[in-house]
Structure 1
Amino acid sequence: MTHWFERIALRRIDEAAARGQLSGLRGEGKPLDRDWLRETSEDVMYRMMSDAGFLPPELQMAKDIEAKRAVLDQIEDETERTRLQKQIALLELKRGMAADQRRRFAAR
């Protein structure tokens, strides 16, 4: 028995194909990419966001953390190093919280 959601999806696919909206797409007529077949829903979500030019907050924070760590290696003043280490720790905490929140949202 087909699930109601699958029936709706198949009907919409058929309607889009009838309107010609599924022709001329990237990869048309080529075999499916085996890497895509192994993707998790989270991988698909990241790829779609990346294709749309959107960077999830936790990835932006990870880039910021990496940049601050590079600066940290060059700082000799202990007070300044401590201040930057606290900033990095706070960013890591926020990044973890954002990732957890996204995972919970995606699991719904």
Structure 2
Amino acid sequence: MVHWYESAIDRQLREARERGEFDNLEGTGKPLRGHGREYEEDWWVKDWLQREGATSGVIPPTLALRRDVDDLEAKVDRLRTEREVRDHVAELNERIRKANVGLMDGPPVVLPPRDADQVVAAWRERKA
């Protein structure tokens, strides 16, 4: 005689299946979305955005931060004074700090703070 253990979850699933709760689900018998396509490293981010109904202009704060870090040079080039550049870097670094310790929504990020003196020096060179 074979005895097998049925966990509470297994029992709930079996009972739901017996009641027909899994019959006629949307997508039954169809391949999984994306099956056969080339693997994309950030597939889960795109999938999450789609599931959450995010439009192309709305992204999680941590991803927006990554974009802001990538666009730092272009952003500071539109600023007029060194004070504005330093303030921008300080604000960016505060957002980086919050993201690095998990105080921002979205996928986790680990970003180094930006050195305000280096950003200002590069800004001055480009202005010259």
If the length of structure 1 is used for normalisation, what is the TM-score? 0.51
Alignment counterpart, residue 98 of structure 1, candidates 95, 98, 102: 102
- Are residue 77 (structure 1) and residue 81 (structure 2) matched? yes
Tell me how many residue pairs correspond in the alignment.
Answer: 97
Relative to structure 1, is the Cα distance of residues 70 and 13 closer, same or farther in structure 2, using a 3 angstrom cutoff? farther
Alignment counterpart, residue 7 of structure 1, candidates 4, 10, 32: 10
- The unaligned stretches of length 5 or more in structure 1 are none
Deviation at 1:90, TM superposition (A): 0.9
Q: Which has the higher helix share?
A: 1
Instruction: Say whether the 8 Å CA contact 1:58–1:98 is kept in structure 2.
Output: no
Deviation at 1:72, TM superposition (A): 0.9
**Corresponding position of 2:49:** 50
RMSD: 4.6
Deviation at 1:71, TM superposition (A): 1.2
Deviation at 1:60, TM superposition (A): 2.9
If the length of structure 2 is used for normalisation, what is the TM-score? 0.45
**Corresponding position of 2:111:** none
Distance 1:95 1:3 in 2: 42
Greater CA radius of gyration, 1 or 2? 2
Relative to structure 1, is the Cα distance of residues 100 and 2 closer, same or farther in structure 2, using a 3 angstrom cutoff? farther
* Percentage identity across paired residues of the two chains: 15
